[in-house]
Amino acid sequence: MRQMASTYSTLLAFIMAALFISGGAAHATGPEVERPKKPADPLIGPPFVTCKAWVIADGHTGEILAGGNEDEQRNPASITKIMTALVVLKLAEESPDVWEETITFSERADKTVGSSCRLNAGESLPVKELLYGLMLPSGNDASVAIAEHFGPRLAMENENGYDAFIRTMCETAKQLGMERTSYVNPHGLTHETHLTTAADMVKLTCEAMKYERFRDTVATRNHSTIVNTPEGEDRTVSWTNTNRLLAQEGYLGVKTGTTTAAGACLVSCAERNEKRLVMVVLGSTSSDARYVDARNLYRWIWKEIAAESQDE
């Protein structure tokens, strides 16, 4: 034991000596050059935020009012589901009976990883109810069930239904002028070619918010529904909206999303003095940070809008 302690002491002394010599050698080459300080923080302009990209637009016209890195492609996470919902909204626009159709969960939907609306394979419910399961708890499983249900009617010859739904998402993006957006799934789990920009997300969100059913859904804080089990029984499922801004007056929804690659994302809509804004925040450092980023940006832009109104 003593011999081991002696050996350890000798080894420690050797390491300390090596570090001292290394430090001394580095010091001998001259003192470290001190880098010049960055300019003082500006007192005007948008607030500092943790997000990698953001944009604010007029909620009615889609006109971009301010932004930072808004054209930079990034992973979108679950805000992808705004497009998933829009495909269904457009189908229902042509045939309102779509909302009463019954969707039955497949094994594939049930086993989809990530956020979940907590339905099991074989369970079923109306489309109008599953829209809440898609948008409130950020249901990855719900998005797959929706794609599988509606894909076959969108499919071209020899095309898989699920793939047809994804193709329709991409085609809808092009129709909206979302030039830097590409989809490979309906939920937003990370893929190297599943990308969007903050500016593109504004175009998508302004389009989706034209639909009353979408507006009502994303503004709902809690929703419960009955699902039918394969055994013919009923059970109640309840969903809570992940968007914490809804607890604050003036915020109208829309969608959260989080993955390691995307960071914490938030698409939101707010209204004040009869003016509506849509904001997209991509890549915040945490779930809490995305709300701080968004609220600080809203406070700033509302003041800017008020100041411009006074100058007119």
Which of the following is catalytic: 115, 138, 143, 268?
A: 138
The pLDDT score that the predictor gives to residue 158 is 93
Angle, alpha carbons 211-155-141 (nearest 5°) = 60
User: Could you tell me the pLDDT band of residue 33, with boundaries at 50, 70 and 90?
Assistant: confident
Q: Which residue has the higher pLDDT, 44 or 81?
A: 81
User: Could you tell me the pLDDT band of residue 29, with boundaries at 50, 70 and 90?
Assistant: low
User: What is the C-alpha to C-alpha distance for residues 82 and 209, in angstroms, rounded to an integer?
Assistant: 10
User: What is the C-alpha to C-alpha distance for residues 108 and 145, in angstroms, rounded to an integer?
Assistant: 8
Secondary structure of 171-204 as H, E, C letters: HHHHHCCCCCCECCCCCCCCCCCCEECHHHHHHH
Looking at the predicted structure, is the pLDDT value of residue 27 above 70? no
SS3 call for 145 = helix
The CATH T-level fold of domain 53-311 is: Beta-lactamase (3.40.710)
Instruction: Identify whether 138 is a catalytic site residue.
Output: yes
Q: Residue 49 contacts by C-beta under 8 Å, 6 or more apart in sequence?
A: 68, 281, 284, 293, 296, 297
Instruction: Identify whether 81 is a catalytic site residue.
Output: yes
Which of the following is catalytic: 9, 22, 37, 81?
A: 81
* 255 belongs to an annotated ligand binding site: yes
Per-residue pLDDT of 285-305, as tens digits, reads: 999 999 999 999 999 999 999
Looking at the predicted structure, is the pLDDT value of residue 17 above 90? no
Domain boundaries, the chain: 53-311
Looking at the predicted structure, is the pLDDT value of residue 99 above 80? yes
The arithmetic mean of pLDDT across residues 4-9, rounded, is: 42
The arithmetic mean of pLDDT across residues 16-26, rounded, is: 46
The pLDDT score that the predictor gives to residue 26 is 45
User: What is the C-alpha to C-alpha distance for residues 196 and 265, in angstroms, rounded to an integer?
Assistant: 12
Determine what percent of the chain is predicted with pLDDT higher than 70. Answer: 90
What single string gives the DSSP state of each residue in 213-268? Answer: HHHHHHT-SEEEEEEE-TTS-EEEEEEE-S-GGGGSTTEEEEEEEEETTTEEEEEE
Pick from 19-28, 45-54, 129-138, 154-163: least confident: 19-28
